[in-house]
Amino acid sequence: MTFHSLKKHIKSNIEISNEDLALICSYFKPHSIKKKDFLLTQGNIYKYEGFVLEGCFRIFAIDEKGNENTLYFAAKDWWLMDIDSFMNQTPSNLNIQALENSKVLLIDRADKMRLYESLPIVEKLFRVMSQKALVAWQRRLIRNHCETAKERYLHFSNTYPSITSKLTDKQIASYLGISHEFLSKIKKQS
């Protein structure tokens, strides 16, 4: 039951046997994370990769000026990772915080490496997911270049209405790359 949504998610990305699916799932352990708790804070090395079962997370960086910069939000069926820190074992620049009481499946770095080695299809799984993510990031950057803040806000809230409803305007503004005051003015207009 716990692994149902992970299995479904994997099958939506690659063709895979039930045996392999079960083996992959056996590496993941369920965890609960309370609202406002952090799975990762910047400066630390990221040891886990996570898959969200329920709840919602915010992945953000804090720059020198103290501004919070939200990379993305992760709700059900999204992954929690800091690829850079996880791959290279370098201190992370990111923070991953639960926005509500949440449940995740976690795999630690050593197990992930074992999984890659013991089951080559896992390479394919992450290759496919990474490439899809890449396309999404490219599109987001283009939107940032050619759309106004208002257009970007409407696109986000229409694309992810259920996530939008869980967020404060401050969090949305930090995702869109605008000040929260300006977001307030945008919302008043529309």
Q: Name the minimum Å distance from CB 81 to DNA.
A: 24
Q: Which does 181 bind (CB under 5 to 8 A by kind): a second copy, DNA, none?
A: DNA
In the structure encoding, which two tokens stand for residue 171, read together? 């969090």
With CB under 7 A, what is the number of residues at the site for DNA? 17
- Based on the shown chain and the rule CB under 7 A, indicate whether residue 139 belongs to the binding site for DNA: no
- Based on the shown chain and the rule CB under 7 A, indicate whether residue 77 belongs to the binding site for DNA: no
Using alpha carbons, select from 116, 138, 136, 26 the residue that is nearest to residue 74. 136
Q: Name the minimum Å distance from CB 49 to a second copy.
A: 11
Q: Which residue, 3 or 126, is less far from a second copy as judged by CB?
A: 126
Near DNA in 13-42, by CB under 7 A: 36
Question: Distance (Å, rounded) from C-alpha 105 to C-alpha 112?
Answer: 13
Footprint on this chain of DNA (rule: CB under 7 A): 36, 148-150, 168-170, 177-182, 184-185, 187-188
